Amino acid sequence: MPKTPPRGAVNTLRAYGPRLLRYSGVTVVNTAVGVSLLVIFFTLAGWPGVWANSAAVMLSTIPAYYLSRKWVWNQSGPNSLMNEVVPFWAMALAGLVLSSIMVGWASARWSHELTVYAANLASFGLLWVVKFFVLEKLLWGEGDTEVVATEVNLVHRITQPVDQTNDQLAA
C-alpha cells in the first residue's frame, strides 16, 4: 500500500509551489539574459572569460532583482538599499565569484566556448536552491507565518519516535 505524504509536506508544497514556479521563471529569464550577455562579451567582443562573465552577471542581476521582488515575492513600495538590494547583490556576487572561478578554470583547461557556458550554468545551478530559501526566509518571505508553522510541524513530526507518530496518525 503506497504511503501518503504527511499533511505538512503537502501544505509546504502548496505554500511554496506557486512561488517556486515563479522563481523558476525568473531563473529562466535571468539565465537567458546572462548567457546572452556572456556570448556577446566573450564570443563577439573577445573579452577574457572572467571579465565577460563578470559583466554578464552584474548586468543580469538588475532584471533578476526586480522580477524576484515584484513577481515572485509580490513586494511593493520603495526598495530598501540595505535590507533588499545589498543582500540580493551579495548573493549575486557570491554567484559571480563561484562562476568566475569555474569559468576561468574551464576556459584555461579546455579553451572552448561551450565549456565556458557550461561552467557558468553549473555554478549558478549550485546556488539556485540556496538563494531561493535565503530570499524566502531572510529577505521577502518572512511574513509567511503559516508556511513557517507548517515546516516546524513537519520537522517535529519527522523527528518524533515512530511509536508516537503512528499513534498520532491513528488519532
Q: What gap in Å lies between CA 112 and CA 54, rounded to an integer? A: 18
Q: Which helix (H) or strand (E) holds 97?
A: helix 86-110
Q: What gap in Å lies between CA 139 and CA 137, rounded to an integer? A: 6
Other C-beta atoms closer than 10 Å to the C-beta of 98 total 17
56 touches 38 (CB < 8 A): yes
Q: What is the DSSP letter of 77?
A: S
Does the pLDDT value for residue 125 go beyond 60? yes
Give 130's Cβ-side CA count (13 Å radius). 10
Query: What confidence tens digit (pLDDT) does each residue in 5-58 have?
Result: 446 667 767 778 889 899 999 999 998 999 999 999 999 999 998 899 889 989
Integer CA distances (angstroms), 159 to 7, 37, 165, in order: 15, 47, 9
* The pTM of the whole model exceeds 0.75: no
User: Which residue type does 96 have?
Assistant: L
